[in-house]
Chains A and B, each alone.
Chain A
Amino acid sequence: MGLPNASGDLSTEVEVDAFRRLFPLRFYEKHLSESIRPDARPLGRARDTTIALGAVASANGSALAKIGSTTMLAAIKMEVMTPSTETPDEGCVAIDFHMPPICSPIVRPGRPAEAAPVVSKQLSDTILSSGMISLKELCLVSGKAAWMAYLDIYCLDADGALFDTALLSAVAAFSHLEIPVVSLNDDGKIVLLSEEQEGMSEREPVNREKRKLTLCSIPFSLTCILHKNYILADPTAEEESIMETLVTIVLDSSSQLVSLYKPGGPVLAYTSAIQDCIAITRQRVKELQKILEEAISVMEVD
């Protein structure tokens, strides 16, 4: 720690903004010693979260999730495909996470962001292993036709906590998903019934009405930063860039641990730190569940 006195003198003369850019770590440590962060949040609180369902009219299910300024748009499109021979009764879900260059100054059009494939893989692992969706529900005709759900998540604004927002938008999109009506063609192929044809069709539809997927054990997550003895919940991009130890915990709605992800970092995580993180996550899960239920009930009123 080279110049504690010198920076003490400087800080009275230099403006707050300049101090924040030049000595970001010290700026944050001054705040942390008072148990508060620059945007006036206490250490364990996450930013304001909102969910809007049905953002994209042309997709079968969609949702827009915002945590603070981080914004993600998730959309699901369903297509019919033939299932594989090993699992003739199951459909398939393909998850793709994109970071287009509008979201942050670090992303350039030619080269995809570093974080994108990491978050993409984390997301698909979490969603498939949490058992939220039963693939058997996606089956239409056993052995011949099943649904393939393409879930695309676009990051519209990247300000920290990318995985949390992406998972929230994916979960919300699945809860908004409506499986379209189909019927068997004469060739034995599945054909999408559009609404005008419904009155005229003589063939028996395979599924009578648009139905929703039943979701059990919905996963929710929270990312925390460990720095010395402090635990900061829901970091912004600025906090993430200066303090590098992140821990992401995914719990499902019955508070069971789905996944724990700590990708290295200079701070070692002792059991007590992890247990504190899990406690904060548990509270956050309750908040998120309430927000999601409110969003769903608002949609149903419409």
Chain B
Amino acid sequence: FRTGAVNSASGSAYAEFGNTKVIVSVFGPRESKKAMMYSDIGRLNCNVSYTTFATPVRGQGSDHKEFSSMLHKALEGAIMLETFPKTTVDVFALVLESGGSDLPVVISCASLALADAGIMMYDLVAAVSVSCLGKNLVIDPILEEESYQDGSLMLTCMPSRYEVTQLIFTGEWSTPDINEL
């Protein structure tokens, strides 16, 4: 983890978890565009994109559009939007190399970048993902493990307040496994 990676942004962070490398910059608060209506609370705008060399086969990852909205939902609960009415905070993430478990790394890195930018938050957001491979639960899977998984869970929470901001389940799970979590 490192902050201050990008000089021209209000706040930024770079994170490397094994092979997964992500850079996030935060710009703002800046003025909302005129097309957006007046709002008492601030807005959050997120965008996640991949480089062409992020995956072993050159080409765009197919999931990145939903990642933007997932990042938005994860951070929404943590930022105090009332402190910057009428303005927008932009969070941009760029995944340099994808080694599995991308979105949790992006979320953790984004909350660090927001802190670096001085945006008021209730707490830092941490995220982790777990994959189910047959009977085993694997935490923080790498790319190969992800391709074999039967189901996955991603959990984002605010540690100090013991609150969960987002929970995403995909795939097949059996009930005893869920209880184990």
Contacts and interface: CB of A to CB of B under 8 A. Distances in A.
Q: Do these two chains really belong together in a complex? A: yes
Interface of A: 56-59, 62, 69, 71, 73, 75, 77, 79, 96, 98, 100-105, 109, 150, 152, 154, 156-159, 237
Nearest to B45: A109
Top 9 closest pairs, chain A to chain B, by CB? A69-B7, A102-B25, A75-B53, A101-B92, A109-B47, A102-B92, A157-B6, A104-B8, A59-B53
Contacts of A109: 47, 49, 92
B94 A100 contact: yes
Contacts of B49: 100-101, 109
A152 to B, nearest CB: 5
Contacts of A100: 49, 51, 92, 94
B47 A152 contact: no
A73 B6 CA distance: 13
B94 A105 contact: no
Nearest to B6: A157
Interface string B31-66: 000000000000000010101110110100000000
Nearest to A58: B56
B82 to A, nearest CB: 24
Nearest to A71: B6
Given A69-B8, A159-B7, A102 B53 contact: no
B172 to A, nearest CB: 30
Contacts of A237: 8
Q: Assign chain B's interface to a size class.
A: 20 to 34
B96 A73 contact: yes
A154 B92 contact: no
A104 B7 CA distance: 9
Contacts of A156: 5-6, 23, 94
B24 interface: yes
Interface of B: 5-9, 12, 19, 23-25, 27, 30, 47, 49, 51-53, 55-56, 58, 90, 92-94, 96-97
Max chain A CB contacts within 10 Å: which of B30, B55, B58? Answer: B58
16 contacts: A56-B96, A62-B53, A69-B7, A69-B8, A79-B58, A98-B51, A100-B49, A100-B51, A100-B94, A102-B6, A102-B93, A103-B6, A105-B9, A150-B52, A156-B94, A157-B5
Given A101-B92, A109-B47, 17 more contacts: A56-B97, A58-B55, A62-B53, A75-B51, A77-B53, A77-B58, A100-B51, A100-B92, A101-B90, A102-B93, A105-B8, A105-B27, A154-B94, A156-B23, A156-B94, A158-B8, A159-B8
Contact of A57 (B19, B27, B47, B52): B19
Contacts of B90: 101
Nearest to B7: A69
A57 B92 contact: no
Max chain A CB contacts within 10 Å: which of B12, B19, B53, B96? Answer: B53
A77 B58 CA distance: 8
Contacts of A104: 8-9
B7 A157 contact: yes
